[in-house]
A and B are shown apart, each in its own frame.
Chain A
Amino acid sequence: MRRRFRPHILVFLAPAVLIYTLVMILPLIGTLNLSLFNRVEGAESFVGLGNFRTLFGDPRWSASFWNALGNNTWFFLIHMLVQNPIGIALAALLSTPGRRFASAYRTAIFVPTILSFVIVGFAWKLILSPIWGIAPTMLASVGLKSLFAPWLGQEASALTTLALISVWQFVGIPMMLIYAALLSIPEELIEAAELDGITGFAQFRKIKLPLILPAVGIVSILTFVGNFNAFDLIYVTQGALAGPNFATDILGTFLYRTFFGFQLQLGDPHMGATIASVMFLIILGGVCLYLFGVQTRLRRYQF
């Protein structure tokens, strides 16, 4: 049976649709549109997919692009392998009853999340500086000075170091989301498990983890979207050149340099829009993969 169309629904939907269209959909269409044009002999002209051909075909463009994409993927993997497991572990620890100072820990771990990137990036730069940073001094004071290296300055370690700084800053978010999911598991269910002799880590693995999988899925997709849109931390600590030698260049910084120009490089809105469109497609693809490939298989439980 079909419901009769009710016009007032449109009225209720209008504000959200209008605002969302203005600030999200129109700019997105504008960007996609911009990527199809270029300045040829001083005049704007439609070039179709020409800009994309340049991005993937031109050796210098494509080298930069694949470098940024590779770095971005590594950045994302570190978050998935370090940030989210730690976040889940912290949430599991904090949600076990009778843990003292739990709320103090929870707050302390969450605080970096609300700090500005500028503060976080700058603070870590100061901490890790080989010249006046406190990291070398602290390592020296426990006799481990030999372990110190200018991590942010070396091509091999700079990206990983930045990713770990980002993990430090944002581990509070998966922790909070998982914590909330763990709290929604009814107490009687956990008590039933206790009576069944399923305690400690086995209880986490066999009862709690399966029940919070939907939240873990959400955390993963948020991490994915956040990481492939990341820009600020790299920009603050390493500048738009994402040094050393582009070792920390991710899609966000690559887009920024291209769009606005930096030092000797001139800004090119058309190529910038092209990169932005590719980023959009990557994220769209990832999210679709999650929504249709993963989320439909995750069960949500009514308690």
Chain B
Amino acid sequence: MGSLTLRGISKSFGATEVLRDIDLEVHDGGFTVFVGPSGCGKSTLLRIVAGLEEPSAGDVLIEGERVNDRAPADREIAMVFQSYALYPHLTVRDNMALGLRQARTPKATIEARVAEAARMLSLEPLLGRRPAELSGGQRQRVAIGRAVVRTPKLFLFDEPLSNLDAALRVNTRVEIARLRRELRATMIYVTHDQTEAMTLADQIVVLNAGRIEQIGAPMELYRDPANIFVAGFIGSPRMNFLDGARLGLQAATLGIRPEHLRLDRVAGEFEGRVSHVEHLGGETNIFVQAGAHGLLTARRFDEESFALDERVWLTPDPARRLLFDAEGRRLR
């Protein structure tokens, strides 16, 4: 399929710098997710890969070849947009076939590829319909189908699930993962949702304010974040951050995930009062107001229940705590 290399990519719109010095390697067949808060430049980076936006500096290489000067259509990529961007005047079949027809692909090939994509995405009964006659999830599958028929070297997805409701989002996520195994394609996927990132990726690129904060496998980012930003962004509920000085530590900040913050009725490192409890079934999130340490979250995987305002003790698991310096960098 295809590999992608980004070398020193920067992008400015007028005076605003949106991306700064991005270096990235995506391996053949890899599933890379760009994740980061809204407005951090994920879409812009993806659009630069697609050729819809020109980088202010740096090179885009697909399979080792510099493609900066190639038109989007000549980069052998396919993109799935957040808004689906289906052609509203064409049927599902024509939506998928239009690009191939434009490229003067033989008719039989077009038909075979459309049929194959329709089978893969269970679109067969919908082939004669127009986008207006489809539900959101169906439109999304058509948009993916339109990408699949092009047999691209690289699939680009820009927040493809953000317009779907929660249940459909899970289904489509599973479907994309299955599709990826079936096609053995290289995929780059943009999302601001860390669950999507964690579940789909073999490589996550965490972006913040136009810079790469960290690149790594999902569990690597979870276990071993390079800085406060990544530590706080990956994982839900969010990691607790405590003032290091107050705990008598050298480090500026101590980070501890809710699942590694032990909650006890009898004893612990510091005390607090239960201020809110969320029962999620298999797990329970307990929000504790811990005096000077602020509002902390603890997570338990049993069905123990705590009353509001109950006095409790908290202890960060010493093996799982993370320390950061004043600039937010990880101290190891």
Q: Which A residues have a C-beta under 8 Å from some C-beta of B?
A: 186, 188-189, 191-199, 202, 206-207, 210-211, 299, 301-303
Contact = CB atoms under 8 A, between A and B. Distances in A.
Given A194-B73, A195-B50, A195-B78, A202 B88 contact: no
A189 B99 contact: no
A186 B102 contact: no
B85 A210 contact: no
Given A199-B71, A301-B132, A192 B81 contact: yes
A194 B52 contact: yes
A195 B75 CA distance: 9
5 contacts: A188-B83, A189-B86, A197-B102, A211-B88, A302-B88
Interface residues of B, number: 24
A194 B150 CA distance: 13
Contacts of B102: 196-198, 202, 206
A156 B85 CA distance: 51
B103 interface: yes
B101 to A, nearest CB: 9
Nearest to A203: B102
Nearest to B47: A191
A202 B101 CA distance: 11
Given A191-B52, A301-B132, A302-B132, A196 B98 contact: yes
Interface in B76-117: 77-79, 81-83, 85-89, 98-99, 102-103
Contact of B83 (A186, A195, A211): A186
Contacts of B81: 188, 191-192
B128 to A, nearest CB: 15
A207 B95 CA distance: 11
B72 interface: yes
A124 to B, nearest CB: 40
Contacts of B82: 188
Given A211-B89, A301-B88, A302-B88, A197 B83 contact: no
Decide if the interface of chain A is mainly helix, strand, loop or mixed: helix
A195 B77 contact: yes
Contacts of A301: 88-89, 132
B88 A206 contact: no
A134 B199 CA distance: 75
Contacts, number: 68
Given A195-B77, A301-B132, A207 B52 contact: no
Nearest to A197: B73
Contacts of A197: 71, 73-74, 99, 102-103
A188 B52 CA distance: 10
Contacts of B83: 186, 188, 303
A98 B74 CA distance: 21
B4 to A, nearest CB: 16
B89 A195 contact: no
Nearest to B50: A195
Nearest to A211: B89
Contact of B72 (A195, A202, A206): A195
A196 B132 contact: no
Contacts of A188: 81-83, 85
A247 B201 CA distance: 76
Contacts of B88: 189, 211, 301-303
B99 A196 contact: yes
A193 B71 CA distance: 12
B312 to A, nearest CB: 50
A43 to B, nearest CB: 62
Given A195-B78, A197-B73, A198-B102, 4 more contacts: A195-B52, A198-B73, A211-B89, A303-B83
A194 B81 CA distance: 13
A210 B89 contact: yes
B52 A198 contact: no
B72 A194 contact: yes
Residue among A189, A192, A303 with max Cβ neighbours from chain B (10 Å): A192
B148 to A, nearest CB: 13
A207 B87 contact: yes
Nearest to B147: A195
A189 B132 contact: no
Nearest to A209: B89
A9 to B, nearest CB: 31
Interface string B56-81: 00000000000000011110011101
Contacts of A302: 88, 132
A189 B87 contact: yes
A211 to B, nearest CB: 6
Nearest to B143: A192
B107 to A, nearest CB: 17
A279 B72 CA distance: 54
Contacts of B79: 191-192, 195
Nearest to A198: B102
Given A197-B102, A199-B73, A202-B102, A192 B85 contact: yes
Given A186-B83, A191-B81, A192-B81, A198 B89 contact: no
Nearest to A189: B85
B86 to A, nearest CB: 8
Residue among B52, B86, B103 with max Cβ neighbours from chain A (10 Å): B52
> Nearest 8 CB-CB pairs, A to B?
A196-B99, A197-B73, A301-B88, A192-B85, A188-B85, A210-B89, A188-B81, A195-B72
